[in-house]
Amino acid sequence: MWQDLFVAGTDTTSTTIEWAMAELLQNPEKLKKTRNELQQVIKKDEEPKDSDINKLPYLQAVVKETLRLHPTAPILVRQSRSEVDLCGFKVPKDTLVLVNVWSMGRDSSIWTDPNLFLPERFLESGEDFIGEDLGFIPFGAGRRMCSGVPFAHRVVHTMLATLLYHFDWKLADGGKIEDMDMTEKFGTTLHKVKPLMVIPVKE
């Protein structure tokens, strides 16, 4: 069981980091802002650590915005415990209900400019992914939310911080940012159809 949890967490974590890198490359001003924050907080010749995460609000906002646009689990499956009325529809007891997290993240009634990558929105609003803000539930909500949230939080932030702190990045094979394929492959996990291929550039 622990091995299954670890493997599942590894896949979703690496997918989130890939999407974050892709979005930052498409938005160079956001990439620069993230790297500047890291260079101001992390001391020279040190590595980003768990304890640094709370000092990096913009990096946290980048991760949240990535999860809003590209939730690792785009559909959550739940079961109704009793008959309920939902927007005029009767949902019988024990019905399997599919919660479209991907669609919620792009709903214009919840988010301003929902299709734009704007980490700043989370600096202003303060939503978090612990399941209390029901417009933003990349890990689910309530007692059924993902048990791996603490693991994902630490690993995604620390790994992304490490990648961005030490290097700038460019597309492999001379690729142009405007030609980057951002098509999503829907499944249990939301992958990129065309994996991101990048090259580190040491400054």
- Binding-site positions read 146
Beta bridge partners of 199: 170
Residue holding tokens 């609000």? 57
**Residue 177 has which token pair?**
């940012």
Cite the annotated binding site for heme by residue number. 146
Q: In this structure, are residues 160 and 62 in contact, taking their beta carbons and an 8 Å threshold? A: yes
What is the DSSP pairing of strand 96-100 with strand 75-79?
antiparallel
**Distance in angstroms (rounded) separating the CA atoms of residues 202 and 178:** 23
**Residue 63 has which token pair?**
């991760």
**Distance in angstroms (rounded) separating the CA atoms of residues 203 and 189:** 34
3-class SS letters over 15-32:
HHHHHHHHHHHHCHHHHH
